[in-house]
Amino acid sequence: MPQVEDVLECLKDENLIGKGGAGIVYRGSMANGIDVAIKWLIGRNHGFDAEIQTLGKIRHRHIVRLL
């Protein structure tokens, strides 16, 4: 499991992947070398619950797995 310090280290401008109405997405790496996307939410988004449920079910090579 990633440590909080590892996640916070990834939240830098040079790791920015994209921004949207719901949040900001950063690129990161876990200690075992697996690349991850980290989404920093902006406020409480009502669509977030639906997004989490959908991401939890999807398995596709171009969509990151929800951890």
On whether residue 63 sits in a domain, the answer given is no
Considering the domain boundaries, does residue 64 fall inside one?
no
Distance from C-alpha of 1 to C-alpha of 12, rounded to nearest angstrom: 21
pLDDT digits (tens, 9 = 90+) for 12-50: 999 999 998 778 999 988 778 888 888 887 776 667 777
Is 42 inside any structural domain?
A: yes
Query: What's the whole-model pTM score?
Result: 0.66
In a domain, 67, yes or no: no
Dist. CA 36–CA 15, nearest whole Å: 11
Q: Which residue range(s) make up the domain with 33?
A: 4-57
Phi, psi of 32 (to 5 degrees): -85, 5
Q: Is residue 22 part of a domain?
A: yes
Contact predicate 26/37, CB 8 Å: yes
Residues counted in the chain: 67
Burial level of 12, CB count in 10 A (0-12/13-18/19+)? exposed
